[in-house]
Structure 1
Amino acid sequence: MVDRLFVGVLGNRNSGKSTTWNTLFGATVRTGQNSRTLTLYGGECVDVFLISGSPEERQLYAGDILENQNSRIILCSMQYIEAVRLTLNYVVESEFDIFVQWLNPGHSDVGESFDRLGLLPWLIGHHATFAMRDGKVSPQPRTEEIRQFIHGWAKARNLTFQCP
């Protein structure tokens, strides 16, 4: 059984990636140095590490951000540009389970985009779970999808605990 989970929200600039994390946590959140607690269901929580600003936008390598991070669940914004391959390659090489939610169209996009980078077949070929969601509508349904996925994955590995 895979030990770590990578949950990525993929999109163009201003597509709603940060809004997704803020809605998931119920507060404005930013990348930190330490894990944080995510509330799931029925008084259960799990520890996660969040990379809110995408490594691609900040011109950072995800491996440098995560090299000393021991959290079993990583949440990460990813910008839909060629450099996202570096992040995805790191995740595959580090043997994460992968869940990616692509905001297409994103909040500020004119309309839906063609997968010009060919990420969908690459993700499927690496056994990722993939979902494409509309970033122009309320973030609640897509954040609940992420919460449900994390809950099932973490529960199966006995990572959940009673919230403080």
Structure 2
Amino acid sequence: MEKLLVAILGNRNSGKSHTWNTLFGATVRTGKEERRLYFNNYEYVNVFLVSGSPEERQKYVGDLIADTDPRIVLCSTQYKDDVKTTYEYFLEKSYFIFVHWLNPGYWDGDDSLFDSLGLTNWLLSKNSMVGIRSGKISASSRVNEMKEFIYGWAKARNLIINEQG
């Protein structure tokens, strides 16, 4: 069974939670169950959201997801050494990883940051895609890009639910 992780990577206060809030059109937090991500008025897909990064919370992502086995996970990840533990969890569970790195993040300096962790190369050597987006500009363009990617991925796997029948 194919699975998808959509991750937002960034420093603390870079705009990760703001991205999820924009995607859902409301303030959202990590839940215990899947929730609906609507693409329009009647089409949606079920996703599991980990809003606060496991690294900031000092929790193992597997404990946050618990006993669920979601096909699509949306997860905040913090740019620090132990973030690889979070990505390795998903890789071990055969997720394809789609990452938006907020670089620079909302509260970072004006210049893009050098990848001192070598995370980009490490991720790209795995089953993943990485894009760098500015956290200083409106979240709408990156959210639309994520939404289109999730829709296409889910549509190809017959995961889109249509409320109109």
Give the TM-score normalised by the residue count of structure 1: 0.95
Query: Which runs of 5 or more structure 2 residues have no equivalent in the other structure?
Result: none
Cα shift readout 1:26-81 (whole Å, capped 9, x = no counterpart)? 00000011110001147310000000000000000112222411221000000001
Query: Match for 1:39: what amino acid?
Result: Y
Describe how 1:1-164 pairs up with structure 2 within 5 A.
3-41=2-40, 43-110=42-109, 111-163=111-163
Give the TM-score normalised by the residue count of structure 2: 0.95
Is this contact kept in 1: 2:91–2:127, CA < 8 A?
no
| C-alpha displacement of 1:163 | 4.0
Report SS of the residue matched to 1:130. strand
Is this contact kept in 1: 2:32–2:65, CA < 8 A?
no
Alpha-carbon RMSD across the aligned residues, in angstroms, is 1.3
Query: Match for 1:87: what amino acid?
Result: T
Tell which deviates more after alignment, 32-41 or 50-59. Answer: 32-41
Is this contact kept in 2: 1:39–1:163, CA < 8 A?
no
| C-alpha displacement of 1:3 | 1.6
Is this contact kept in 1: 2:101–2:133, CA < 8 A?
yes
Q: Tell me how far apart the structure 1 counterparts of residues 68 and 6 of structure 2 sit (CA, whole Å).
A: 15
Q: Tell me how far apart the structure 2 counterparts of residues 117 and 143 of structure 1 sit (CA, whole Å).
A: 25
Structure 1 residue ranges (4+ consecutive) displaced by more than 6 angstroms after TM superposition = none
Aligned pairs, number:
163
Report SS of the residue matched to 1:113. coil
Cα shift readout 1:56-112 (whole Å, capped 9, x = no counterpart)? 000001122224112210000000011101001111111101100000000000131
Is this contact kept in 1: 2:101–2:132, CA < 8 A?
yes
| C-alpha displacement of 1:128 | 0.5
